[in-house]
Amino acid sequence: MHKPVVLDSNVVVSSIFWEKGNPHKVVDLAIGQKIHNFTSPAMLFELVKVLKDDFKQPEEFVQRQIALVANYSDIIRPKLKIQEVKDDPKDDMVLECALSGKANYIVTGDNHLLKMKEFMKIKILNPKDFLELAI
C-alpha cells in the first residue's frame, strides 16, 4: 500500500498517550511500513515542544519518541514556504511537508486543517476517516 502521508504532531501525540485510539492505529501503519510517513525538522521540534511543555515529559522520554518518529519517517526539509492557514499559521508547516513529500494524505486532528478537506490534491483527513480508506 505504501501511501505517502504526513502525520500531524497531534496524531503522534495522541498515539503516544492513548494506545487504543485511531491515532495509535495510524502510527502502527507507519511503524509497520504500510504507509510512508514524511515529517520535517519543524514538525519534530513542535513534537518536542508539546511533549515537554504541554505533557511535562522528561527529556529521555521525549528523545525516545523523537527517535521512534524519525525511525518510521522520512525527514524532509521543505523548500516551499506556504501561507495558507490564516487562523493558525504554524499549521502551514504540515502543508509544506506534505507538498515537499508529495504526500497523498495529511492525517490530523487539527480543525484548521480538517476544514480545508484538501490542499493541492492532498486529502486532509482525521485518523478515523483515514483508517477507513487505508484498510
Q: By residue range, what is the domain housing residue 16?
A: 3-134
Count structural domains, the chain.
1
**pLDDT for 69-82, tens place per residue?**
999 999 999 998 99
CATH code, 45: 3.40.50.1010
Asked whether 14 and 21 are in contact (CB, 8 A), the reply is yes
pLDDT of residue 3: 87
Q: Average pLDDT, stretch 50-73?
A: 98
Average pLDDT, the chain: 95
Residue with cell 510517513: 37
Would you say residue 101 has pLDDT above 70?
A: yes
Say if residue 112's pLDDT is above 70: yes
Closest CA to 128 of 109, 112, 110: 109
Q: Are 14 and 109 in contact (CB under 8 A)?
A: yes
The residue-averaged pLDDT of 106-125 equals 97
Q: From 96, 97, 131, select the one nearest 26 (Cα to Cα).
A: 131
Q: Which three three-digit cell numbers place residue 71?
A: 525511525
40-51 mean pLDDT: 98
DSSP assignments along 18-73, one per residue: -TTSHHHHHHHHHHTTSEEEEE-HHHHHHHHHIIIIIT---HHHHHHHHHHHHHHE
